[in-house]
Amino acid sequence: MHMLRTLILLMVLPIFLPCSGWSQEPVMAPEYIKEINTLKANGQVKLAFDRIEKEDAETVRDMIHLTEILAPPFGEGPKGQAFAELLRQAGADSVWTDPEGNVFGLRKGTATETGYVGLDAHLDVVFPEGTDVKVRYVGDTLKAPGIGDDTRGLAMVIRILNVMKETGIRTRKDLLFVGSVGEEGLGDLRGMKYIFNQSGLNIDSWIAIDGGEIGRISNAGLGSKRYKVIIRGPGGHSWGAFGLANPHHALGKVIDQFSTAAWDFTSGDISKTSFNVGRIGGGTSVNSIPFESWMEVDMRALDPENLAEVEKILKTTVQQAIDEYNASGVKGKVEYELEPIGDRPSGELPSSLPLIQRTMAATASFGETPVLGRGSTNINIPVSLGIPSVCIGRGGKGGGAHSLHEWYLNEDGAKAIQLALLIALAQAGFEN
Ligand SMILES: [Zn+2]
């Protein structure tokens, strides 16, 4: 059976994959390779690259300092303040925090071209209040929740601003050095949604630092929809009120019907769609009929139409399962509510865009093979609006993201900072 499925996949894949964005053979235009090489040969840029290497210890110091200030989703304030202080020390022309909590450091351009080029890493981590974020060394490896994702990125943003100040590098466009909020989970990209939909800032393009290895470049957003399904009933004693409508029993039915129907839909799907019941909860004690039962569901798809379809399946099956449960002879009934808790748009930018060309050329100039891909990151927002944006890696070595065992090893970490600087300078227009 598996063998057969593999065979079918092998026959079908070459036809369908080129549309998915993953296998896109990126073509690098010679003009951008030339532009990057010229930039790299410039004395000021060379000096900046040097400073980045010399200041490696300071970058690690900033990274440890920021990691040890916990920033759970919706609790980024203190870490944002510390980041703002580092932006001031690194010589930002002005520093401010917007109403959503995003922290900005501006390095003014020579104003011959308008529009901000943003360079961001996110302030928030997935970990809740109370998590131990003390950084520990195990040999040369740094260990702490959030050390890599994305605090390494924040330290890179600071270092780039700092070496620009030290070497006097100027760009034609204004550069914004940003610590963004709400990238993770239920934050639902609220920081980026504010910047692009409400702030009124004229953003030219966006470079997000929020990935691992430096060869991988994200130019597309994987869309997702998330819901909390809450089922409520009267509640009562398990013996005394036996027979009353039970929200947990109803939720079991909902999960069964939803997962069966969604599985039927996704297993025939060649461009990937996924669904997941990630958390369930509710209830007061083993001998109580609960008054509430809930679950959180995450659905993702490359294709917006598939995402809409799996969302429809959720809505239909919840309604059906609840109706069936209420009609099963229980006393009273349960009611439900679907609360949207996440909506990340999908989209993809053509690899011919200057920003993507520059990112690929710069990556190749460091001896890495650029690979374009898709993720669920801050750039989902600008990508869905057609604004040039890329998400690039933090470099070094790391692992265990989103776990308490997260680690980072600063092996060639400076290279990723040099690369990010190079892309930012090319995009914002290096002023000779
Ligand atoms: Zn991240």
Task: Read off the pLDDT of residues 83-134 as tens digits, 9 standing for 90 and up.
Answer: 999 999 999 999 999 999 999 999 999 977 789 999 999 999 999 999 999 9
* 78 found inside a domain: yes
Distance 269 CA to ligand 1 centre (A): 28
- Predicted TM-score (pTM) of this structure: 0.84
Same domain, 85 and 199: yes
Same domain (yes/no): 187, 237: no
4 belongs to a structural domain: no
How many angstroms separate the alpha carbon of residue 400 from the centre of ligand 1?
Answer: 12
d(C-alpha 358, C-alpha 427), whole Å: 7
Cα(114) to centroid(ligand 1), Å: 29
Residues 78 and 140 reside in one and the same domain? yes
- Assess whether 173 and 63 both reside in one domain: yes
CA of 380 to the centre of ligand 1 (A): 13
Question: What separation in Å is there between the alpha carbon of 142 and the centre of ligand 1?
Answer: 17
Ligand 1 center–CA 406 separation, angstroms: 12
Residues 367 and 275 in one domain: no
Task: Determine the Cα angle at 284 with ends 278 and 289, to 5°.
Answer: 100
Cis peptide before 150 (omega within 30 of 0): yes
Partners of 174 in beta bridges: 116
Q: Do the domain assignments include residue 11?
A: no
What is the whole-number distance in angstroms between the Cα of residue 425 and the centre of ligand 1? 23
Residue 377 sits in which domain range? 20-222+346-431
Neighbours of ion ligand 1 (CB under 5 A): 149-150, 210
pLDDT tens-digit map of 202-248: 999 999 999 999 999 999 999 999 999 999 999 999 999 999 999 99
In angstroms, the CA 6 to CA 8 distance is: 5
How many structural domains are present in the chain?
2
Nearest to 427 by CA among 350, 159, 374, 419: 419
Q: For the chain, report the end-to-end CA distance as a whole number of angstroms.
A: 63
The CA 342 to ligand 1 mean position distance, Å, reads 16
User: Which whole number is the average pLDDT over 289-296?
Assistant: 98
Alpha helices per DSSP H over 223-269: 247-266
Whether the predicted pLDDT of 410 surpasses 70: yes
d(CA 351, CA 358): 10
Q: How far is ligand 1, taken at its centre, from the CA of residue 128, in Å?
A: 15
User: pLDDT per residue over 238-266, tens digit each?
Assistant: 999 999 999 999 999 999 999 999 999 99
Query: What is the rounded distance in angstroms from the CA atom of residue 26 to the CA atom of residue 362?
Result: 13
Is residue 244 within a helix (H) or strand (E), and if so which, with residue range? none
In a domain, 1, yes or no: no
Domain containing residue 293: CATH number: 3.30.70.360
Distance from the CA of 335 to the center of ligand 1, in angstroms?
A: 37
Cα–chain-centroid distance for residue 2? 33
Note the pLDDT of residue 112: 75
235 Cα: distance to centroid of ligand 1 (angstroms): 40
User: Rounded to the nearest whole angstrom, what is the distance from the C-alpha of residue 293 to the centroid of ligand 1?
Assistant: 30
Q: Where is the domain boundary, 344, 372, 406? A: 344
The secondary structure of the chain in percent helix, strand, coil, rounded to multiples of 5, reads 40, 25, 35
Q: Environment class of residue 121 by beta-carbon count within 10 Å: exposed (0-12), middle (13-18) or buried (19+)?
A: buried
